[in-house]
Amino acid sequence: LVYGQHGEPSAVVQLKDLEEAKLGGSDVHVKMLAAPINPADINVIQGTYPILSPLPAVGGNEGVGEVLEVGQHVVALKPGDWVIPASTGLGTWRTRGVFPEEMLLKVPRDIPVLCAATLSVNPCTAFRMLSDFESLAPGDSIIQNAANSGVGQAVIQIAKASGIKTINVVRDRPDLPKLVETLMALGADHVITEEMLRKPEMKDLFKSIPKPRLALNCVGGKSTTEMLRHLQPKGTMVTYGGMAKQPVMVPVSAFIFRDVRLRGFWMTQWRKDHAQDPAALTSMMDSLCQLIRRGQLTAPACTEVPLQDYQAALEAAMKPFISSKQILLL
């Protein structure tokens, strides 16, 4: 799926037959199996993301493929291995591709294909945010908004596996009871709406669990200010998205009297910072694959779409209140 200019995905993305590159000595020929449509992919096509590929470009930053053939200098991969992108900008919305070996990461074949296809962005983001900002112990709690997003679903499951309680904030919607049920089934301890954050009943909620030491924000605006109120003194709020397209507003009192910390997180930057530290990446991937094998981490709710129906998938990915990730089957 190629776009030659930036703009609305449904207008600029086209299905094209491209000539395959020749296999060089350090290259790997990959047959793509499945690739999701993430919010960042949409932003890249619109031209609003901090990292843009030279045009024309193939869409998609995430997915899983099977190695068909390797160049003579390739040592870590062999035909039949499963691989995912090692960094962003690979262009995964394609049936086949030839990539340099260092752009790919091997993943085990004994995990479900949808888990592998959605492994490199959301679960990694969730894992790092839960690990890198506060040292959380079993019994501690965290609060997050957009809890039904891909990252939100991964946070619930990874936290649950570590004995950490989650308070999950979602927007009110027509099918709210169904969404609450879904998130509880993943292991959420509490699911509340943004309106509830402002209500006195929140006091009752904190009789059964401690106030959170960590807040995860991917919305911005009012939702964030309300969530911040419930953070413990010296707690940390990490912002990793801004779906409301509104700034994060923090009362001065939160800084002075509660000494809260505001941080930001971007998985792409983490990968850059750890480019010389492959062990950090391997250890995270191993932990995530272990959770998947034990059934403690599942792929987010997915809708599988054949590549030729990409138009419908792009439109569905941009609808509000969508809790299902569109996955292109390649």
The per-residue pLDDT for range 89-147, each reduced to its tens digit, is: 899 999 999 999 999 999 999 999 999 999 999 999 999 999 999 999 999 999 999 99
Q: What percent of the chain has pLDDT over 90?
A: 88
Rounded Cα gap, residues 33 and 63, in angstroms:
8
Rounded Cα gap, residues 201 and 196, in angstroms:
8
Q: If pLDDT is split at 50, 70 and 90, which confidence band does 63 have?
A: very high
Q: Residue 11: which of 308, 325, 319, 314 has the closest Cα?
A: 314
Q: What percent of the chain has pLDDT over 70?
A: 100
CA dihedral 110, 304, 330, 113 (to 10 degrees): -10
What are the backbone dihedrals phi and psi of residue 306, each rounded to the nearest 5 degrees, phi first? -65, 150
Q: Are strands 104-107 and 96-100 parallel, antiparallel or unpaired?
A: unpaired
Lowest mean pLDDT among 117-121, 177-181, 252-256, 321-325: 321-325
What one-letter code names the amino acid at 211?
K
Domains in the chain: ranges and CATH: 2-118+299-329 (3.90.180.10), 121-268 (3.40.50.720)
Output the pLDDT for position 301. Answer: 87
Question: Which CB contacts under 8 angstroms, 24+ apart, belong to 105-110?
Answer: 105/281, 105/285, 106/76, 106/77, 106/81, 106/82, 107/64, 107/82, 107/83, 107/285, 107/289, 108/82, 108/289, 109/80, 109/81, 109/82, 110/293
Output the pLDDT for position 202. Answer: 92
Measured from the Cβ of residue 304, the count of other Cβ atoms closer than 10 Å reads: 15
Contacts of 327 (CB under 8 A, 6+ apart): 34, 35, 36, 37, 114, 117, 118, 302, 303, 304, 305
Rounded Cα gap, residues 308 and 174, in angstroms:
31
Q: Residue 103: which of 90, 122, 119, 116 has the closest Cα?
A: 90
> Rounded to two decimals, what is the model's pTM?
0.93
Output the pLDDT for position 242. Answer: 87
Q: Is the pLDDT of residue 34 over 80?
A: yes
Segment 45-60 mean pLDDT: 93
Q: Do the Cβ atoms of 194 and 223 come closer than 8 Å?
A: yes
Just list the catalytic residues. Answer: 49
Output the pLDDT for position 320. Answer: 77
Please state, in angstroms and as integers, the Cα–Cα distance from residue 228 to each residue in 20, 92, 125, 322, following that order.
Answer: 50, 37, 20, 25
Output the pLDDT for position 285. Answer: 95
Q: How would you label 68-83 residue by residue, b for 16+ Cβ within 10 Å and e otherwise?
A: eebbeebeebeeebbb
Reading the block at residue 283, the tokens are 């250890």
Segment 14-34 mean pLDDT: 95
Residue 127 DSSP class: H
Segment 140-155 mean pLDDT: 95
What one-letter code names the amino acid at 69?
E
Q: Which residues pair with 217 in a beta bridge?
A: 239
Residue 51: burial class (beta carbons within 10 Å; 0-12, 13-18, 19+): middle
Average pLDDT value for the chain: 94
Contacts of 83 (CB under 8 A, 6+ apart): 28, 30, 64, 65, 66, 67, 77, 104, 105, 106, 107
The per-residue pLDDT for range 266-297, each reduced to its tens digit, is: 999 999 999 999 899 999 999 999 999 999 99
Q: Is the pLDDT of residue 256 over 90?
A: yes
Output the pLDDT for position 88. Answer: 86
Rounded Cα gap, residues 101 and 25, in angstroms:
10
The per-residue pLDDT for range 157-200, each reduced to its tens digit, is: 999 999 999 999 999 998 899 999 999 999 999 999 999 999 98
Segment 218-224 mean pLDDT: 91
Q: If pLDDT is split at 50, 70 and 90, which confidence band does 311 have?
A: very high
Scan for tokens 């929140």, then name that residue.
202
